[in-house]
């Protein structure tokens, strides 16, 4: 394993007890990895780096994949869902059209871009982004990633803006 992979796996092992099982391990250096029928499998987390590397190398890849899959499932349970269905597009922000043009021209949609270009706060930029999503200009929220631009060019954007009234 490469050192970067070892660090990632070590981090996963350290947080797995809290994320997957919703509780801290009983002992600081013991970590519950996989619950079997009536027994639990533990790995002692050593203090020194060399021993930790050897321990991580000894973990089978399928067990690591099981841990990663469990974390992904647990994370998906906690992903917030944002509703944009109740946004009234007849009461759009005065910067709505300018923001739409900015995002389509740059083909990049992020709240921070709107904040920087228009010197506005996060709340207003967030409301603008919600309005742009409701209008079908940008895609839905995907965590910290920039949203997808759904309008390919300025011509189609102008048509959409004219239809919105």
Along the chain (165 residues), what's the average pLDDT of each consecutive run of 10 residues? 61 56 46 44 63 75 80 65 68 94 91 93 92 91 82 91 85
- Closest to 139 in 3D by CA, of 92, 96, 107, 114: 107
**Cα separation, 35 vs 67, whole angstroms:** 11
Class of domain 89-164: mainly alpha
Six token digits for residue 58: 């000894």
Q: Where in the chain are all domains bearing CATH 1.10.10.10?
A: 89-164
**Cα separation, 93 vs 127, whole angstroms:** 8
* pLDDT of 145: 77
**Cα separation, 103 vs 101, whole angstroms:** 5
State pTM to two decimals: 0.50
Contacts of 17 (CB under 8 A, 6+ apart): 23, 24, 25, 31, 32
Burial bucket for residue 160 (CB in 10 Å: 0-12, 13-18, 19+): middle
């Amino acid at each position: 394993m490469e050192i970067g992979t070892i660090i990632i796996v070590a981090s996963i092992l350290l947080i797995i007890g809290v994320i997957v099982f919703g509780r801290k391990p009983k002992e600081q250096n013991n970590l519950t990895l996989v619950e079997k029928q009536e027994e639990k499998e533990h790995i002692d987390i050593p203090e020194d780096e060399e021993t930790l590397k050897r321990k991580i190398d000894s973990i089978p890849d399928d067990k690591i994949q099981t841990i990663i899959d469990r974390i992904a499932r647990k994370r998906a349970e906690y992903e917030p869902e944002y509703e944009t269905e109740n946004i009234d597009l007849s009461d759009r922000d005065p910067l709505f059209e300018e923001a739409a043009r900015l995002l389509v021209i740059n083909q990049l949609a992020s709240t921070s871009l709107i904040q920087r270009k228009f010197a506005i706060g996060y709340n207003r930029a967030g409301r603008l982004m919600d309005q742009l999503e409701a209008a079908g200009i940008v895609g839905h929220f995907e965590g910290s990633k920039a949203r997808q631009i759904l309008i390919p060019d300025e011509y189609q954007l102008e048509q959409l803006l004219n239809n919105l009234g």
